[in-house]
Amino acid sequence: MPQLEVAGAALTYDDEGPRDGDGVPLVFVHGWTANRHRWDHQVAHFARKRRVVRLDLRGHGESGGAGVKTVAELAADLLALLDHLEIERCVLVGHSMGGMISQTVALSHPERVERMVLVNSIGRMTYSRGRGLLMGVSTLVPFKLFVAANIQRAFAPGYPREEIRAYVKASADTPREVVMTLYGAMRAFDVLDRVGEIQAPTLMIHGYHDIQLPVQQMLRMAKAYPDATVRILDAGHELPVEKPAELTAAIDAFVGGKPA
């Protein structure tokens, strides 16, 4: 389990697959309160034929470190890892907050991003009334209850409750300071007026039932991208685990240069 010390955080990461495999490395970036294992299905598939990297963001999973106030600081962590692994160019795959990090890298260092996949992500954080109320009372309810409410809302109706409980438990293990500080970072995130600068071909794949980051917000972003492909699946916000095979197939087609 390798780790890299970056700005006061020990970042845990996986670096798998053949170095001389097909294409540039795939780099997977998870979302808020999640960890690198959200990508288990995708990594198992792609690591057979190309280099694959994933990490636990600071304060998440098996990584240490406190929360930071901006998404740009998380992007700096990711760039430090890419430098450490001597990855000059890659395909970034980001889920939710991970997609925000990916867009930040694509804007600040376009030469590093060959293609990009945004999974249930947006360019400007805008909450529904229900989500806004939930976040507004976050300091008034027990932390684990707050986390449980957020995670349960992330899955489409009908997803097995036993599995949701496991994800709730994993998310509640993320320190409260990290969760709430990064909530502020996401709330301040806004690159919508700049995404037209992103030249890397981008796949935007979203769950139709996503009430955390509604699909309408993604479509608004897609219009501004010079080269965007849009896919909408019958799922909620947690596409990597709700529809793992369908997501993997869409990414595979996209990075292979075929229509997604």
Instruction: Look at residue 68 in the predicted model and tell me its pLDDT.
Output: 95
Residue 51 DSSP one-character state: -
Instruction: Look at residue 58 in the predicted model and tell me its pLDDT.
Output: 97
Sequence-distant (≥ 6) Cβ neighbours of residue 244 within 8 angstroms? 40, 41, 42
Instruction: Look at residue 96 in the predicted model and tell me its pLDDT.
Output: 97
Q: To which H or E segment does residue 21 belong?
A: none
**H and E: helices and strands count for the chain:** 10, 8
pLDDT in tens, 63-90: 999 999 999 999 999 999 999 999 999 9
**Residue 242 in contact with residue 155, Cβ under 8 Å?**
yes
Instruction: Look at residue 21 in the predicted model and tell me its pLDDT.
Output: 81
**Residue 208 in contact with residue 233, Cβ under 8 Å?**
yes
Q: To which H or E segment does residue 233 belong?
A: strand 228-233
Report the alpha-carbon distance of residue 260 to residue 147 in Å, rounded.
33
Sequence-distant (≥ 6) Cβ neighbours of residue 13 within 8 angstroms? 2, 3, 4, 36, 53, 54, 55, 56, 81
7: alpha, beta or left? (left if phi > 0; alpha if psi -120 to 50): left
The structure's pTM equals 0.93
Separation in Å, CA 115 to CA 60, 105, 182, 189, 204 = 26, 12, 26, 21, 11
With a cut of 70, which residues of the chain have pLDDT below it?
127-141, 257-260
